[in-house]
Amino acid sequence: MACAECPFHVPSLEELAGVMQKGLKDNFADVQVSVVDCPDMTKEPFAFPVKGICGKTRIAEVGGVPYLMPLVNRKKVYDLNKIAKEIKLPGAFILGAGAGPLQTLGFNSEFMPIIQTESEHGPGVNGSYFACINPADGGCLLQKYSEKYHDFGCALLANLFASEGKPGKVIEVKAKRRTGPLNFVTCMRQTLEKHYGDKPVGMGGTFIIQKGKVKAHIMPGEFSSCPLNSDEDVNNWLHFYEMKAPLVCLPVFVSRDPGFDLRLEHTHFFSNHGEGGHYHYDTTPDIVEYLGYFLPAEFLYRIDQPEETHSIGRD
């Protein structure tokens, strides 16, 4: 499988904290960005299989929207244990946003990968969630992947943040009350793009929406049988929801595309109250509160990049 590697620009955490503090201030009333020790992520609300998001950080973009639409390409299925080897980090801890493993599930879903991949030390732990539309009532059905399934698959497209899963220093971002038009992730990404220009900076990690609600979508379990040729077609196919805090989000974002047809930001989320999906923006700017932990990635890996591309369905 084709895999391209490219180094990111990697500023110091102190410098990044300063840049993000300034940028987020334009969009949120109350902002505090600092460098802290990563909290123990084996604890709630994360309950990840590893303590942190530090060590040999990478971003991998696998496949892409062109494998989902206009029409699905069902051959585009992946194994995250293999992807960890492709990005030269067997045993990697992987977080992110993608499409669920249709090779196992037999249907399409929103996927929230939380995976410690296999290594010489052990068989790997799959703490992922997937969300689909409940056929009974059209609501959200969020499930822990490992309750029924035992593989490490995903399909079609995935934006992944990988690390050794170690404790260490991270950037903590607290942002409350949104005063500008941008969602939390777009604001951070555009801040980085403005400051670093043509030097691409990639970041990932996790954030909690502590208060408020968000607009989210879930893809139908059945792929569209007629081609999705515009954003309007895509929006008619997707199901949209308003979901409520607390939500744990898995963001991956890149300030600027260095020429690999990247999806510049992608965030999925899960919760302990049965809601999960693809994050668009909060719908409650007056009360929203974000708390996040982020790190810059050292390398970008572009795996199985589609040859034929388009720009629809990337919101």
Residues near Zn ion (CB under 5 A)? 97, 278
- Nearer to Zn ion among residue 234 and residue 300 (C-beta): 234
What's the Rg (C-alpha) of the chain?
A: 18
Give the separation between CA 113 and CA 224, rounded to whole angstroms. 24
> Cβ(18)–Cβ(191) under 8 Å?
no
If the CB atoms of residues 54 and 252 are measured against Zn ion, the closer one turns out to be: 252
Q: How far is the CB of 142 from Zn ion (least distance, A)?
A: 14
Measured from the CB atom, the residue of 60 and 97 that comes closer to Zn ion is 97
**Sequence letter at residue 43:** K
The DSSP secondary-structure symbol of 39 reads P
Rounded to a whole number of angstroms, the minimum distance from the CB of residue 265 to Zn ion is: 10
**Shortest distance, CB of residue 298 to Zn ion, whole angstroms?**
24
- Residues with Cβ within 8 Å of residue 7, at least 6 apart in sequence: 298, 299, 300
- Name all contacts of 15-22 with Cβ < 8 Å and 24+ positions apart: 16/171, 16/201, 16/296, 17/171, 19/191, 19/192, 19/195, 20/171, 20/173, 20/188, 20/191, 20/192, 22/191
What 3-state DSSP class applies to 25?
A: helix
Nearest approach in angstroms of CB 271 to Zn ion is 16
- Cβ distance to Zn ion smaller for residue 85 or 239: 239
The CB-of-179 to Zn ion minimum distance in angstroms stands at 26
Residue nearest to Zn ion (CB): 278
CB closer to Zn ion, 193 vs 265 = 265
- Are 299 and 5 in contact by the 8 Å Cβ rule? The answer is yes
**Length of the chain in terms of residues written:** 315
CB of 130 to Zn ion, least distance (A): 12
Distance, C-alpha 261 to centroid of its chain: 17
Return the number of the residue (33 or 97) whose C-beta is nearest Zn ion. 97
Kindly tell me which of 278 and 302 has the beta carbon lying closer to Zn ion: 278
- Sole residue written with tokens 């299925």: 77
User: CB 278 → Zn ion: shortest distance, Å?
Assistant: 3
Cβ neighbour number for residue 298 with a 10 Å cutoff: 16
C-beta of 54 vs 156, nearer to Zn ion: 156
For residue 282, the minimal CB distance to Zn ion (Å) is: 16
Beta strands in the chain, from DSSP E residues, in sequence order: 3-7, 28-37, 58-63, 77-79, 93-99, 110-112, 114-116, 125-126, 129-133, 140-144, 153-163, 169-178, 202-211, 213-218, 239-244, 247-254, 265-270, 277-282, 289-296, 299-303
